[in-house]
Homo-oligomer: A and B are copies of this chain.
Amino acid sequence: MDETKKAETAPPVDRVIDVPPSECSLARAIGEIGDAWTLLILREVICGVTRFEKMQEDLGISRAVLSDRLQKSVEFGLLEKVEHREPGQRMRHRYALTAKGRALLPALLALRQWADDFLRDEPSRTVFCDKDMSRVTVLITNEAGKQTSVNDVIATTVDDIDARSG
């Protein structure tokens, strides 16, 4: 085993960032969207599946749970329930992304990228593009706009930053 790999998989950790989860915004995020079904539902909406029946069929989720998750997603402001009438049809509902829900795209894209890198056996058929049909990716940059590798990212606290610069 070469040295770089060893450093990657088992770095000696002595720095403990002691911010309890209750104070961590990530923990609160997980409370809202950390449920597996909620993420899958958001994925459906992003891919244009906005109706109850189709989601239920796609996901194979129990109707009761789907109903519950949709309600909660609306409560949390991730989705919006929209009345929608197609010509010659009766009134239907759709669930549409709100700005808050759409803002989860970077997280979902990052997760997808990870899955493609580490779990894929065949390439993903879905693709995410910008207006010019240029594929988009998620990456980490520092304040100067320079791309950074995950291996160079460290967790610290504002207090620590202040202490260094002050």
Contact = CB atoms under 8 A, between A and B. Distances in A.
Interface residues of A, number: 103
B25 A43 contact: no
Contacts of A123: 158
A139 B142 contact: no
Given A102-B150, A108-B26, A9 B96 contact: yes
A105 to B, nearest CB: 4
Contact of A105 (B18, B104, B150, B164): B150
A17 B103 CA distance: 20
Number of copies: 2
A135 interface: yes
Contacts of A65: none
20 contacts: A13-B94, A13-B96, A15-B48, A18-B47, A19-B47, A19-B125, A25-B112, A27-B43, A28-B119, A30-B36, A30-B40, A106-B113, A109-B140, A125-B157, A126-B157, A127-B160, A127-B161, A130-B148, A130-B153, A132-B142
